[in-house]
Structure 1
Amino acid sequence: MAGGSTGASGPAGGEFVLKPWELHGEGREFEKLGGELTKAVAALEQGLAALGAPWGTDQPGSGFAAVYGQARGELVGGLRGLAGRVAGVGAGLHTMAGRTADADSSAASGFGATAVPGGSGVPGVPGVPGPVGVSGVTGVPGATQGAAPVVPKDMSV
């Protein structure tokens, strides 16, 4: 994942960190890869169609055509499915990021903390809440009493 910090464990090995803005960045990367793979599959289909049927209609050519046609259909169908699944991983990462931010917000409000002002959303991802910080919570590593920490926005490429 971006920067290697999403899912990293702390020095004691008991900490697991999920950063919603990084999950969104990786989600966009998977969606981009899925789109590129979809375009590559379309180009492959056009290229194969342009070849026509150079093997002929005699007995060996007909035998080849029967096997080739089935294999071609399975290959192209499998590649289309793969492209959709890769893009689906991106959508799943966006969902995970939103749920992580919601859980953080819920946990913070359970301690009487407030959300970071201006954390109304993640840029480029409509309907998904942005990162949430806590303030005034005793015992939270990295939290400054009475002040909301600076929460970075999306830092992915």
Structure 2
Amino acid sequence: MASGSSTGGAGNGNFVIKPWELHGEGREFEKISADFGKAVGTLEQALTALGSPWGLDKPGSGFAAVYQEAHGGLLGGLRGLAGQLGQVGSGLHTMAERTADADTSAAAGFGGRPAGPGGPVRPGATPVAGTAVPKDMSA
């Protein structure tokens, strides 16, 4: 998570989640996922371009049998990892939205406005219609 997402020293019990930072981190994971997926595609093309250089003799055939199984497992695992990185990004977006919704609901219940980049909840404030926690301040 981005620097500054949690605050407080030892034993003070404070924890702060900033939805806009979670969205930013979610976008980072989605970018890493896309870049990793492209790298896996490039690797797959490069390995395919090599063809079958091991030959058809007994040692070459033995190597080919082991290589083909490992090759499929490796590429499948790498593609799966790229997908899981993207899912982490989606999960961070979901967490940010749920955090913002919970903060908005809690602030409205206490007659204030949610904390956000604009400042803290003002004691005794009257909720303003349509006031919501910013979804993303980093873009």
Residue 24 of structure 2: aligned partner: 25
Q: What is the DSSP-based 3-state SS (H/G/I as helix, E as strand, rest coil) of the residue aligned with 1:67? A: helix
Q: Contact conserved, 2:25 with 2:89, CA < 8 A, in 1?
A: yes
How far is the alpha carbon of 1:10 from its aligned partner? 1.4
- Aligned residues between the structures: 133
Q: Unaligned 5+ residue runs, structure 1? A: 117-129, 139-144
How far is the alpha carbon of 1:106 from its aligned partner? 0.6
Q: What is the DSSP-based 3-state SS (H/G/I as helix, E as strand, rest coil) of the residue aligned with 2:47? A: helix
How far is the alpha carbon of 1:147 from its aligned partner? 10
Structure-2 separation of matches of 1:50 and 1:22: 42
Q: Unaligned 5+ residue runs, structure 2? A: none
Q: What is the DSSP-based 3-state SS (H/G/I as helix, E as strand, rest coil) of the residue aligned with 2:53? A: coil
Q: Contact conserved, 1:30 with 1:90, CA < 8 A, in 2?
A: yes
- Structure ranking higher in helix proportion: 2
How far is the alpha carbon of 1:134 from its aligned partner? 6.2
Residue 46 of structure 1: aligned partner: 45
Q: Contact conserved, 2:108 with 2:127, CA < 8 A, in 1?
A: no
How far is the alpha carbon of 1:13 from its aligned partner? 2.9
The residue type paired with residue 17 of structure 2 is L
Residue 4 of structure 2: aligned partner: 5
Amino-acid identity (%): 59
How far is the alpha carbon of 1:77 from its aligned partner? 0.5
TM-score in terms of structure 1 length: 0.74
Residue 102 of structure 2: aligned partner: 103
Residue 83 of structure 2: aligned partner: 84
Structure-1 separation of matches of 2:49 and 2:16: 50
